[in-house]
A = this chain, B = another copy of it.
């Protein structure tokens, strides 16, 4: 889901970072796109609003949520009655756990990788 982007001069000064994808087995993979979508659903209370905010089609947003529900074996998002686009949506406890654990992993791994990232950035600039 990362959008194509163009390198700018400012990027050269950005600190080196890493992004992570979790592979939980049985084909379940969780990366920044799905996690950002869950966060946006939690914020907006709506899958369609979350999709719009992330410039993602409603169909695509639903597919990602379904992929997570199926992969986790338990719903990460609950929808209220009202059908497509009608009722609201909220994160379940499992959905909240996915978001919180992913963001914790992101922070911990960036801290763990800091020295290596700095070393690579030094090689790049030299």
Stretch at the interface among A12-20, A40-48, A58-66: A12-20
- Copies per complex of this chain: 2
Partner of A18, one of B13, B26, B109, B117: B109
Note all chain B residues with C-beta closer than 8 A to A116.
101, 104-105, 108
The answer, yes or no, to whether A80 is at the interface (CB within 8 Å) is no
**Contact between A121 and B24, CB atoms less than 8 A apart:** yes
13 residue pairs from A and B, CB less than 8 Å apart: A5-B27, A11-B26, A16-B23, A18-B22, A19-B20, A20-B21, A22-B120, A24-B120, A74-B123, A74-B126, A94-B123, A105-B117, A109-B113
10 A-B pairs closest in CB distance: A7-B27, A109-B109, A112-B112, A105-B113, A101-B116, A14-B25, A12-B26, A108-B112, A11-B26, A11-B25
